[in-house]
Amino acid sequence: MIKLYGIAWSVHPLFVLVMLASIATGYFVELITLFAIVLVHEIGHVVTARGFGWTVREVKLLPFGGVAEIEEGANLPAREEAIVAIAGPLQNVWMGVLAWFMGFLGWWSHDWAIYVMQANMMIGLFNLLPILPLDGGKLLQAALSRIQPFHRTLVWGSRISLLLSSCMIIVSVVPVFRHPGGGIQANLLAVGFFLLLTNWTAYRHIPFLFIRFLTHRAAASSRSLEHGSWALPIIISRHHTIASALRLFKRDSYHLIVVMEEQGSIVAVLPEQRLVNGFLAEGKADRAVLELFM
């Protein structure tokens, strides 16, 4: 692990296995090139994230990109998350164009220029698959969070990622059944299993991820109050629990909780901080929201 500019950089064990396999098969130069492409891809994310003022704690490099740990978590604006996510594949665009240009000028051999172009295309396009924690998965999650509550975004983001990861594993073994003597696509199989296990773990940890979202909600609420913001009301009945109300929170919105009778009369209105603090302080998520006034 290396620490640069306050960020811990490390290589994931999956990348280490790829490195050892490349060295054993004599593809050392290709390995260094792949490592450089992945590193520049991830630097694109980090520079953009820090430009928005994010605190990047750690970056783990993988054969197809990297995974960054952000201190602020899920309360960052969806727009910023989308821009940071797309910043990685954009690095592959200019590197691919540069490789073509170098080949066109004759400064690189034709075969080497094609290899670097294809490597950038492969990494860039692969990262745009809508699977977490790939860039495409983050773009999907940012889009989902704009149209539905954040808890549902976590659930469906993980479910879609699990489904597509499973499809990747199936695709990797299809050649065995389609062609006599066909071999398994080992790289795709390994990556598919990695993504499947990562998303299965994330799916099981959704309650923890949602609590983390709520604990950082106070800072997001302070920003909304400081700059002025529209409030998005959440209308519930007197029988709604604190947990069910919290699961209606949207990522980039400030909420007022309106408790209403079936006849349409308003029983109570409280700011979202009251609901979040009531849950975090006592942890009784199955209490009725109305009990916060008693």
DSSP state of 285: T
| Residue-wise pLDDT tens digits, 248-284 | 999 888 888 888 887 778 888 888 888 888 787 766 6
pLDDT score at 72: 64
- Does 128 fall in a domain? yes
| pTM (two decimals) | 0.84
Residue tagged 């308003």 (tokens): 266
Would 69 be classed as within a structural domain? yes
Of 111, 134, 157, the position where a domain reaches its end is 134
* Residue 175 and residue 126 share a domain: no
Residues 94, 117 within the same domain: yes
Q: What is the pLDDT of residue 100?
A: 93
C-alpha span between 155 and 221 (Å, rounded):
23
Q: Of 69, 102, 134, which residue constitutes the final position of a domain?
A: 134
141 inside domain: no
Residue 50: burial class (beta carbons within 10 Å; 0-12, 13-18, 19+): middle
**pLDDT for 267:** 82
Contact 121, 96 (CB under 8 A): yes
Could you tell me if residue 276 is inside a domain?
yes
Please report the sign of the dihedral spanned by the C-alpha atoms of residue 24, residue 28, residue 32, residue 38: negative
Q: Is position 100 within any domain?
A: yes
Both 113 and 177 in a single domain? Answer: no
Q: Quote the pLDDT of residue 202.
A: 92
Same domain, 96 and 38: yes
pLDDT above 70 (res 21):
no
Range of the domain at 264: 219-293
Taking the C-alpha atoms of residue 153 and residue 165, their distance in angstroms, rounded to an integer, is 18
What is the number of structural domains in the chain?
3
Average pLDDT over the chain, rounded to an integer: 83
- Do 209 and 242 reside in the same domain of the chain? no
129 in the same domain as 28: yes
pLDDT at residue 56 tops 80:
yes
pLDDT one-digit tens code per residue, 202-256: 999 999 989 888 888 766 666 666 666 788 888 988 788 888 889 999 988 888 8
Mean pLDDT within 144-159: 93
Same-domain status, 119 and 159: no
**Are 193 and 265 contained in the same domain?**
no
Does 121 share its domain with 15? yes
Q: Is residue 142 part of a domain?
A: no
User: Is the predicted pLDDT of residue 158 greater than 70, yes or no?
Assistant: yes
Say which residue the tokens 């490390």 belong to: 10
Q: What is the pLDDT of residue 74?
A: 62
Q: Looking at residues 57-71, what average pLDDT do you find?
A: 77
E strands, the chain, are 2-4, 7-11, 56-62, 65-70, 231-236, 254-260, 266-271
Last residue of a domain, one of 183, 215, 247: 215
Q: Band of the pLDDT at 182, cuts 50, 70, 90?
A: low
Q: Are residues 76 and 155 in the same domain?
A: no
Q: Report helix angle 135-147 to 150-178, nearest 10.
A: 140
pLDDT band at 183 (very low <50, low <70, confident <90, very high): low
Instruction: Let me know if residue 81 belongs to a domain.
Output: yes
Lowest mean pLDDT among 138-147, 181-190, 200-209: 181-190
Residues 41 and 59 in one domain: yes
What's the rounded Cα separation, in Å, for the pair 239 and 277?
19
Q: Which ranges constitute the DSSP H helices of 179-268?
A: 186-204, 206-215, 217-227, 242-246
Let me know if residue 143 belongs to a domain.
no
| pLDDT tens, residue by residue, 76-88 | 888 999 999 999 9
Say whether both 239 and 211 belong to one domain: no
What does the alpha-carbon distance between residue 215 and residue 207 come to, in Å, rounded to a whole number?
A: 12
pLDDT > 90: percent of the chain: 33
